[in-house]
Every structure is written in structure tokens, then in C-alpha cells.
Structure 1
Amino acid sequence: MIALFLISAIFAIISYRYDPKSLSIRWGVLVLVCAALAGLSRATIESFLPTLDKFNMDFPLLDSSLYYLRILTGFISIYFFPY
């Protein structure tokens, strides 16, 4: 999921830089940003938090921040993508 996040974010940046005034490209960038946020949401749960647990890095503030990041990115990707 980290690859999904990186590839979608890079394509969103490239697409927006190509022609920021085009309406169709801006909608495509919205789709790519939603895909990037979905990838970040899954990567948080599948990669980042298990890695912290594996190495016994118990930082309550970091753990709660990553959980809230997962909730926020998941919410944005789920509810803005159909728009």
C-alpha cells in the first residue's frame, strides 16, 4: 500500500503541474489524491503500526496520532472519491 500511496501522489503532482487550469485534470487529480490517501490509510494499519509494535516502540502519542491519521485519510478517501 505504500507503493499505491507514492505512485498516486506522484501522478497527482505531475498531472496538476501539467495543466492546473484544466477542469478534467483537476478531477483526475482529486481521484488520484483519494487513491493516495486510501493507500496511506492502509499502509498505516498494515505497515507502520505493526513495525512499531515489532520493535517495541511504545509511544502513546505517536500511536494515537497514527490511528487518527488512519481515520482521517480513510474518511477523506471513502467520502470524497464518489463525489
Structure 2
Amino acid sequence: MNAPVPFSPAPIPPIAPMPRECNHTLHLILSLVTCGFWLFVWPFVAFSVSSKNKSAQARYAAEMTNYQREYALWAQSQGSQR
């Protein structure tokens, strides 16, 4: 006889990342205060924030795919116990 499988909790879904934002108002003020010297830094900061957001979204998409697969396996195992 097959022994019943003990109850297992459902997988926990991943948490969606909070997008970061570049504070353009601050960079504009810094550019004015430094007589335009901050204009050379601003694009690099904006690009850095954008690339971090894209990588966080890609990581979340991969984690969500993994979660969906794990949840389907979990649901299937829960259905077989009944």
C-alpha cells in the first residue's frame, strides 16, 4: 500500500520588485549649481537606474516562471492525495 504523502505547504510567490527612479529634479538643480558640470554625471546615473530596473524585472520573471512550475507540481500532488 502507498503511504499518504504528508501535507506540504504551497510554494510562496515571488515579490515584485519596486522600480527605482532617477530624481531628475535633483539632477537639474545639481547641474545648475555646478554650472553644468553635473550634466556629465546625470546620463550615467539615469542609465544605471534603468539597467538595475531591467535586471530586477528579468530576475522576477524567471522567479515567477519557477513559481508557476512549482505551484503546478504542488497542486498536482495535492489533488492526488484526495
- Tell me: higher relative CO, structure 1 or 2? Use CA pairs within 8 A at least 6 residues apart: 2
| Higher helix proportion | 1
Q: Which of the five TM-score ranges fits, normalised by the shorter chain?
A: 0.3 to 0.5
Bigger Rg over Cα: 2
- TM-score (normalizing by structure 2): 0.42
- TM-score (normalizing by structure 1): 0.42
